[in-house]
Amino acid sequence: MTDKTIKKNIILIVDDNQNNLDVLFDLLKKSGFKVLVALNGESAIKQIERIHPTLILLDVMMPGIDGFETCRRLKTNPTTQDIPVIFMTALSETVNKVNGFQVGAVDYITKPFQYEEVLSRLKTHLTIRNLQNKLQEKNTELLQANDNLEKLVEQKTKQLIQQEKTAIIGRLTQGLFHNLRNPIQVILTTLSLIEIKAQETGDTVYLKNSEHISTAVNQINDIINTLMLKSRREQEEDLQLVNINELLRREIQLLEADFNFSNAIKKKYIFDDEIVSIPLIYCHISQIFHSLAENAIDAMSGGIVKELTIITRQDEQRIYIDVKDTGCGISPENLSKIFDPFYTTKLAKYEDMETGVTTRNGLGLYTCIELLKPFEGEITVTSDCENGSIFTVILPKNIKRFPL
Ligand SMILES: Nc1ncnc2c1ncn2[C@@H]1O[C@H](COP(=O)(O)OP(=O)(O)OP(=O)(O)O)[C@@H](O)[C@H]1O
Ligand SMILES: [Mg+2]
């Protein structure tokens, strides 16, 4: 033990014999320890509650509660049970030393004291205690690390399962859609023949019904076209330098054509004019923005305060588009599902030629994520049912896969 480590240790001597106390006090003080004294078991216990000594030298034979009982009480208290106790006995005393070990002592020293022996026993037990403390600390760290690792593995496994599920769904749907294209084409061609015939004969019921069918089939066709993503080569051909602010202004202009959008919703646009142009596929980004705006408008449809805020911002690496609404928000349990294909909370309504009500398929956000993948882009969302939602599109400025 070094002088520095010795100084950190507080030794409590408990003895009813003042001479013994003085002798030990001097010895330990000279050796550099911090030393406290108590004249009986009760006052020792009171002191220990206030000051947590590193080690206790405890006389066995004392008036009041003896050393064994004092030790037993200390060992039953969780806050003091770890403090090592060394008993002190006189050679002349007939003490059953086994009792001492049974109540939790670590060692004995005998009076009259052999100073060298007292010091070396003391230091040995302090070193053991120190090592035990370190072991305990390491153990706690290890348990914590293990806990973190388990959580990480669980999280990664969930992520992998989700990715695998999406990949399987993706492969299945691509194959399915490919095969659906032909029969759909047959239906549409046959329908147009029926429509021509109905127009010729002036059969309005036939005409109306065939219109309904063709609307529904066209809708199926739209879904398929949305989900049949272009190959990477085709995508590269569509790549161009896009200024996000300009794109958004143009898209907003298109939305303004809608009466509800232009009149019922308060808008706030905060665009960072410094934003640089980056290589993107224009129609993909406009589709993403359109989906997010449409969702925001849907979410605010039943609300009193309808406010849509669009923000563009950038940092060194990325460009951000925030689409913020004051709508109904998304509950925490639904938040993890919104990017799943076909997940929707909106009532599916048949598209009506007269009212223009469109069906919701639950493909908007899923498609956004798919469209962003080649650009290493992502969408984050914060939402709660009181304040509404913020969807943020994150676009990296330098895309490794698509150098322009
Ligand atoms: N801004 C928003 N506020 C509240 N809920 C939202 C918002 N955006 C998305 N959601 C929730 O996420 C679901 C999925 O959205 P997504 O855009 O993928 O599908 P959809 O809007 O239901 O249908 P589609 O976009 O195919 O017409 C929505 O049905 C809705 O429950
Ligand atoms: Mg949508």
Does ligand 1 lie within 6 Å of residue 359's CB atom? Answer: no
Query: Does residue 1 surpass a pLDDT of 80?
Result: no
Q: What is the pLDDT of residues 357-368, one digit of tens each?
A: 556 778 899 989
DSSP annotation of 89? E
Ramachandran sector of residue 104 (left: φ over 0; alpha: ψ -120 to 50; beta: rest):
left
Query: Does residue 170 surpass a pLDDT of 80?
Result: no
Is residue 13 within 8 A of residue 21, CB to CB? The reply is: yes
- Give the model's confidence band at 349: pLDDT under 50 very low, under 70 low, under 90 confident, else very high: very low
Residue 391 Cα: closest atom of ligand 1: 1
Closest residue to atom 7 of ligand 1, CA basis: 295
- Give the model's confidence band at 218: pLDDT under 50 very low, under 70 low, under 90 confident, else very high: confident
Closest CA to 1 of 56, 77, 55, 80: 55
Closest residue to atom 27 of ligand 1, CA basis: 360
> Ligand 2 centre from 210 Cα, in Å?
28
Is residue 309 within 8 A of residue 270, CB to CB? The reply is: yes
CA angle 371, 327, 306 (to 5 degrees): 110
Closest residue to atom 11 of ligand 1, CA basis: 338
More confident call, 231 vs 18: 18
Within 10 Å of residue 332's Cβ, how many Cβ atoms? 10
Instruction: Report which residue type is found at 203.
Output: D
Closest residue to atom 28 of ligand 1, CA basis: 344
Closest CA to 86 of 128, 42, 50: 128
The greatest distance separating any two alpha carbons of the chain, rounded to the nearest whole angstrom, comes to 130
Domains 8-113 and 230-404 in one fold = no
Closest listed ligand to the CA of 328: 1
Query: Does residue 97 surpass a pLDDT of 60?
Result: yes
Q: What is the pLDDT of residues 187-210, one digit of tens each?
A: 988 888 888 888 899 888 888 888
Q: Which of 212-216, 225-229, 297-301, 310-314 has the lowest mean pLDDT?
A: 225-229
Closest residue to atom 19 of ligand 1, CA basis: 362
Domain 230-404 indexed as CATH 3.30.565.10: yes
Is residue 46 within 8 A of residue 69, CB to CB? The reply is: no
Does ligand 1 lie within 6 Å of residue 121's CB atom? Answer: no
Q: What CA–CA distance (Å, rounded) separates 331 from 325?
A: 15
Does ligand 1 lie within 6 Å of residue 365's CB atom? Answer: yes
Radius of gyration of the chain (CA): 40
DSSP annotation of 111? E
Closest listed ligand to the CA of 360: 1
Does ligand 1 lie within 6 Å of residue 309's CB atom? Answer: no
Q: What is the pLDDT of residues 234-292, one digit of tens each?
A: 566 678 899 999 999 999 998 988 888 999 999 999 999 999 999 888 888 999 999 99
- Give the model's confidence band at 401: pLDDT under 50 very low, under 70 low, under 90 confident, else very high: low
Residue 329 Cα: closest atom of ligand 1: 4
> Ligand 1 centre from 294 Cα, in Å?
8
Task: Calculate the average pLDDT of the chain.
Answer: 88
- Give the model's confidence band at 352: pLDDT under 50 very low, under 70 low, under 90 confident, else very high: very low
**Token pair 């940092």 is at which residue?**
315
Tokens in use for 53? 């000594």
* β 10-14/34-38 pair status: parallel
Q: What CA–CA distance (Å, rounded) separates 219 from 361?
A: 10
Closest CA to 38 of 47, 30, 29: 47
Does ligand 1 lie within 6 Å of residue 366's CB atom? Answer: yes
Q: What CA–CA distance (Å, rounded) separates 9 from 33?
A: 6
Count of alpha carbons within 13 angstroms of residue 48, beta-carbon side: 31
Q: What CA–CA distance (Å, rounded) separates 296 from 342?
A: 18
Count of alpha carbons within 13 angstroms of residue 34, beta-carbon side: 11
88 three-state secondary structure: strand
Instruction: Report which residue type is found at 307.
Output: E
> Ligand 1 centre from 327 Cα, in Å?
12
Closest listed ligand to the CA of 363: 1
- For residue 60, the model assigns a pLDDT of 94
Q: What is the DSSP string of 221-266?
A: HHHHHHHSPPPHHHHHHT-EEE-HHHHHHHHHHHHHTSHHHHHH-E
Produce one character per residue of 84-108: b if its CB has 16 or more CB atoms within 10 Å, e if not.
bbbbbbeeeeebeeeebeebbbbbe
- H-run or E-run covering 378: strand 378-384
Residue 365 Cα: closest atom of ligand 1: 18
Q: What CA–CA distance (Å, rounded) separates 403 from 43?
A: 79
Query: Does residue 404 surpass a pLDDT of 50?
Result: no
Strand partners, 381: 391
- Give the model's confidence band at 177: pLDDT under 50 very low, under 70 low, under 90 confident, else very high: confident
> Ligand 1 centre from 347 Cα, in Å?
11
> Ligand 1 centre from 375 Cα, in Å?
22
CATH tag, 8-113: 3.40.50.2300
Q: Which of 67-71, 115-119, 138-142, 346-350 has the lowest mean pLDDT?
A: 346-350
Domain residue spans of the chain: 8-113, 146-228, 230-404
Give the list of residues 6+ apart from residue 233 with CB closer than 8 angstroms, or none: none
> Ligand 1 centre from 330 Cα, in Å?
9
Closest residue to atom 25 of ligand 1, CA basis: 364
Q: What CA–CA distance (Å, rounded) separates 277 from 245?
A: 9
Closest residue to atom 17 of ligand 1, CA basis: 364
- Pocket probe for ligand 1: among 344, 358, 383, the residue whose CB has the most ligand atoms within 8 Å is 344
- Give the model's confidence band at 72: pLDDT under 50 very low, under 70 low, under 90 confident, else very high: very high
